[in-house]
């Protein structure tokens, strides 16, 4: 899973990036004209995998992972001027973590002259709309050129008919995610990697003294709910400081500040939610492993996630739900208590399924 951190300059993206990845990225450096991208990698903790590994005692346990990309701030109008080339890097991510500044700090002046979360959110959204519009316009121009040459008229005509409504919406300043595009059409559009079709997690970066973000992020939260976007309030500065502590010290500090779950756990859960992902577990040979797949995936698709040969030669899936495995205490005991199931390739995988796939090589 790849998640891209975006926002206008001075939003606190790099600080949140450090909190999420236990990184040490230099904050504020993007303003100097440097355009390098911060990259970080984390494991997704899961107590279910820990328990399974304790039972099966493998040499290796492998968690799911998330890669975070922290991009330079995107200034209002930069895309239209062609100076936001870094937006191209976003097309390869699965979801966007849109960091919006909701804190005052005289030491870090806001480039816009004032702190206005709703304005900043709309400014960044406008840049993504302009970027998507550029992709559509370029492709439509190419289609017209090819049609003039008599190239594959039927297929190109169908593609043009699919893109023209998107062009109209983007020209009206509407993100594509709000158009209710048919899933089959969305599948055909995957190659364009439209930014305004990507799932978004809106993060209000709030002040240290207001870690719950109740007041400063209220207007932003209302807007997010109206737009149907997942949203969180996080004090990136506090979280980055806490994540440099050892676990015991961090727990004491969180308790003193009245803080609950950490930013990493909250963002992971939000990412799984907006991407509609579930997890299943395997324990073969010397490894117990956690896998992520889209909700609604069939058993043969889950097998293919592990290896294409498993999908190609799929025979059956031997399945025990995690809760049943935990209650039984072992795979053999789960079989004896009737919680072991044999499923075919069309079985719809459930979150927490523990699976052994049988297949022909």
pLDDT tens string 306-337:
999 999 999 999 999 999 999 999 999 999 99
Indicate if 153 and 256 belong to the same structural domain.
yes
- What CA–CA distance (Å, rounded) separates 294 from 275? 7
Looking at the structure, do residues 152 and 301 belong to the same domain, yes or no? no
Per-residue pLDDT band at 33 (split at 50, 70, 90): very low
Final residue of a domain: which of 240, 273, 306? 273
Q: Same domain, yes or no, for 235 and 354?
A: no
**More confidently predicted of 152 and 276:** 276
Cα dihedral 213/94/63/340 (nearest 10): 110
pLDDT digits (tens, 9 = 90+) for 224-259: 998 899 999 999 988 888 888 887 888 888 887 777
Higher local confidence (pLDDT), 153 or 281: 281
Give the best-scoring range by mean pLDDT among 30-34, 174-178, 230-234, 289-293. 289-293
- Please indicate, yes or no, if residue 80 is contained in any of the structural domains: yes
**Shared-domain flag, residues 164 and 302:** no
Q: Which of 275, 322, 319 is nearest to 294 (CA)?
A: 275
- Output the pTM of the full model: 0.87
Distance CA 143, CA 137 (A): 10
Residue 270's closest CA among 95, 101, 109, 131? 95
Same domain, 268 and 322: no
Domain boundary among 241, 273, 305: 273
CATH number of the domain at 74, please: 3.40.50.300
Domain hosting 127: range is 2-273
Whether residue 249 is found in the same domain as residue 304: no
> Which of the pair, 185 or 32, is modelled with greater confidence?
185
pLDDT at 85: 60
Q: How confident is the model at residue 268 (pLDDT cuts 50, 70, 90)?
A: very high
Instruction: Please tell me whether residues 95 and 180 are part of one structural domain.
Output: yes
Query: Do 226 and 216 form a contact (C-beta atoms < 8 A)?
Result: no
Q: Residue 283: inside a domain, yes or no? A: no
Does the pLDDT of residue 340 top 70, yes or no?
A: yes
Residue 58 lies in a domain: yes
Predicted pLDDT at 290: 97
Q: What is the CATH number of the domain that holds 317?
A: 3.10.20.30
pLDDT tens digits, 72-119: 888 887 776 554 566 788 889 999 999 999 988 888 888 888 889 999
Q: Is residue 18 part of a domain?
A: yes
User: Do 73 and 158 fall into the same domain?
Assistant: yes
Same domain, 194 and 163: yes
> Do 308 and 259 have their domain in common?
no
Structure tokens at 66: 């998330």
Q: Does one domain contain both 239 and 311?
A: no
Confidence band of 32 (pLDDT split at 50, 70, 90): very low
pLDDT for position 82: 53
Confirm whether 287 is domain-assigned: no
Report yes or no: 43 and 265 within 8 Å, Cβ to Cβ: no
- Domain annotation covers residue 280: no
**For residue 17, is it within any domain?**
yes
Domain presence at residue 197: yes
| pLDDT digits 0-9 by tens, 157-166 | 888 999 999 9
Identify the three-state secondary structure at position 40.
strand
Ramachandran bin of 63, using left for φ above 0, alpha for ψ from -120 to 50, beta for the remaining angles: beta
Q: Do 267 and 302 have their domain in common?
A: no
pLDDT band at 130 (very low <50, low <70, confident <90, very high): very high
Q: How many domains does the chain have?
A: 2
Q: What is the mean pLDDT of the chain?
A: 89
Q: Can you give the pLDDT at residue 205?
A: 93
């Amino acid at each position: 899973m790849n998640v891209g951190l975006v926002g206008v300059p001075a939003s606190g993206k790099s600080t949140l990036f450090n909190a999420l990845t236990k990184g040490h990225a230099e904050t504020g450096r993007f303003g100097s004209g440097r355009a390098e991208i911060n990259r970080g990698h984390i494991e997704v903790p899961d107590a279910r995998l820990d328990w399974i590994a304790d039972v099966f005692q493998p040499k290796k346990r492998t968690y799911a992972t998330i890669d975070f990309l922290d991009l330079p701030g995107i200034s209002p109008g930069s895309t239209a001027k062609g100076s936001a080339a870094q937006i191209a890097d976003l097309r390869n991510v699965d979801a966007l973590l849109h960091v919006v500044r909701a804190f005052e700090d005289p030491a870090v002046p806001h480039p816009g002259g004032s702190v206005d979360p709703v304005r900043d959110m709309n400014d960044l959204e406008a840049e993504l709309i302009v970027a998507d519009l550029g992709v559509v316009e370029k492709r439509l121009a190419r289609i017209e050129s090819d049609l003039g040459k008599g190239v594959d008229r039927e297929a190109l005509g169908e593609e043009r008919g699919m893109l023209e409504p998107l062009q109209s919406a983007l020209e009206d300043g509407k993100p594509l995610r709000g158009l209710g595009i048919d899933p089959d059409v969305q599948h055909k559009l995957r190659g364009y990697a439209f930014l305004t079709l990507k799932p978004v997690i809106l993060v209000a970066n709030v002040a240290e003294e207001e870690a719950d973000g109740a007041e400063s992020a209220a207007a932003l939260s209302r807007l997010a709910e109206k737009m149907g976007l997942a949203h969180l309030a996080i004090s990136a500065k506090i979280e980055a400081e806490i994540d440099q502590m050892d676990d015991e010290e961090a727990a004491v500090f969180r308790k003193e500040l009245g803080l609950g779950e950490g930013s990493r756990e909250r963002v992971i859960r939000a990412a799984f939610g907006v991407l509609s992902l579930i997890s299943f577990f395997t324990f073969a040979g010397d490894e117990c492993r956690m896998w992520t797949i889209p909700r609604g995936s069939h058993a043969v698709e889950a097998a293919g996630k592990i290896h294409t040969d498993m999908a190609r030669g799929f025979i059956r899936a031997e399945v025990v739900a995690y809760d049943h495995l935990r209650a039984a205490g072992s795979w053999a005991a789960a079989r004896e208590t009737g919680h072991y199931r044999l499923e075919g390739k069309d079985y719809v995988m459930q979150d927490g399924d523990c699976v052994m796939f049988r297949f022909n090589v």
